[in-house]
Amino acid sequence: MQPGQTFNDPLPGTSFAGPELVVIPSGRFVLGDSSGVGNYNERPTHAVRIDRAFALGRFELTTADWRQYARATGTPMPDDEGWGLPERRPVIQVSWVEAHAYCRWLSQVTGQRYRLPTEAEWEYAARAGSHTAYWWGEQLDSPESRPRAHCRGCASPRALQAQSAQVGQFPANAFGLYDTAGNVWEWTASAFVIPFDGRESAAAALADTGPRSVRGGAWNSGPGYLRSSQRDFKQPQYRGYALGLRVLRELP
């Protein structure tokens, strides 16, 4: 598979496919805040090498994606906050434990290896080769005529300002990923640790039972929370109306 290629894995026994994925190339980048405007927990920076290409959800996992899992496993659908979430809105109110269970199910039914991205993988993909505060530059620069992202202060359409937006409405980064800044926070596999490291393996991250790192900011976040190196944390059992996930699929 070539970098930038998009694909889905079929879900055997159904007419549906898994989440749409995009191939992310291997490469090097500097993990953490290099600009000096970030928080103490975004430092020290580290030069990190991503040795293998991987595939990442082109969009945040949608309600439609989660519905296939719910139907197959008899799992109740998460709370939609009374928003009546359409199929293309990101799924919310999903804990880290539930997100991990979804990835395990998707791995079983497709025969591929799905999981949550580590912090390093997430930031590498979100930056898409950039070295600036946001993947598009140092400033928010989000005009009303064409908002960069969905957040409080991003000039999002008024109708969206009290809830999440359908995926794919705002520009994609250079890797072809949508909503890595804003819309909903995204779970990572990684434990939230200080001092910042972010280089642990996904297997090592799973062994930790402490708070997990979340990334990307959300619809109810201020612009500063959308920076590529911005980190926050939630307990693994936490569910929230501004928190979802994006899946990673390992490539051969």
pLDDT tens sequence across 61-81: 999 999 999 999 999 999 988
CATH of the domain at 225: 3.90.1580.10
Percent of the chain with pLDDT over 90: 83
Count of domains for the chain: 1
pTM of the predicted model over 0.85: yes
In a domain, 1, yes or no: no
In a domain, 45, yes or no: yes
Q: Kindly report the backbone phi and psi dihedral angles of residue 19, in degrees, each rounded to the nearest multiple of 5, phi listed first.
A: -60, 145
In a domain, 243, yes or no: yes
Domain containing residue 38: 6-250
In a domain, 120, yes or no: yes
In a domain, 134, yes or no: yes
Q: Among 96-100, 205-209, 230-234, whose mean pLDDT is lowest?
A: 205-209
In a domain, 57, yes or no: yes
In a domain, 161, yes or no: yes
pLDDT tens sequence across 124-173: 999 999 999 999 999 999 998 999 999 999 999 888 889 999 999 999 99
Cβ contact 48:29 at 8 Å: yes
Give the DSSP letter string of the chain: --TT-EE--B-TTSS-B---EEEE--EEEEES--SS-S-GGG-S-EEEEE-S-EEEESSPPBHHHHHHHHHHHTPPPPP-TTS---TTSBP-S--HHHHHHHHHHHHHHHSS-EEPPPHHHHHHHHHTT--SSBTTBSS----TTS-SSBSTTTT--GGGTTS---TT-S---TTS---SSBSSEEEEEEE--SS------HHHHHT--S-EEEES--TTS-GGGGSTT-EEEE-TT---TTEE---EEE--
pLDDT tens sequence across 239-252: 999 999 999 999 99
